[in-house]
């Protein structure tokens, strides 16, 4: 298996990618996408991720107040794993994997 496949199929990447996808589709949070895209160093990525999680939490609380449903949020284990991936693969690769998951369109009608 290639290292790129291992990174892309990691559960933390999938979880944060799904959260970013929800933030874009439901809350029009393109700011987080741009900030993650512009992250060059680990410090930049941490700041972008912190802002994204703050926005995600705000949107999740609003969703839970207005509906009886539970909002999707990555857990702390995913966050720890994501930071390990940044150490192993680098910021640019992790950002690219996150954005790939976030921008993929979900299948319509079981296709």
Model confidence pLDDT, tens digit, residues 41-79: 999 999 999 999 999 999 899 888 999 889 999 999 999
The Cα 54–Cα 56 span in angstroms is 5
Structure confidence at residue 108 as a pLDDT band (50, 70, 90): low
% of the chain with per-residue pLDDT over 90: 77
pLDDT for 1: 55
C-alpha 111/C-alpha 102 separation (Å) is 19
pTM: 0.88
- Calpha distance 107→86 (Å, rounded): 29
- Using alpha carbons only, what angle is made at residue 80 by residues 36 and 31, rounded to the nearest 5 degrees? 20
Give me the mean pLDDT over the 23-35 stretch.
Answer: 92
**pLDDT at position 104:** 86
Residue for token pair 């705000």: 58
CA distance 51 to 33: 11
Q: How far are the Cα atoms of 33, 56, 103, 110, 111 from residue 107, in angstroms, in the given order?
A: 21, 23, 12, 6, 6
């Amino acid at each position: 298996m290639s290292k790129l496949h291992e990174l892309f199929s990691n559960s933390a990447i999938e979880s944060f990618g799904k959260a970013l996808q929800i933030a874009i589709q439901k809350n029009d949070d393109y700011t987080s996408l741009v900030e993650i895209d512009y992250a060059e160093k680990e410090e930049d990525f941490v700041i972008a991720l912190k802002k994204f999680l703050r926005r995600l939490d705000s949107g999740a609380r609003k969703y839970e107040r207005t509906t009886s449903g539970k909002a999707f949020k990555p857990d702390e284990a995913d966050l720890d794993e994501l930071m390990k991936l940044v150490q192993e693969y680098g910021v640019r690769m992790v950002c690219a994997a996150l954005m790939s998951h976030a921008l993929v369109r979900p299948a319509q009608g079981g296709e």
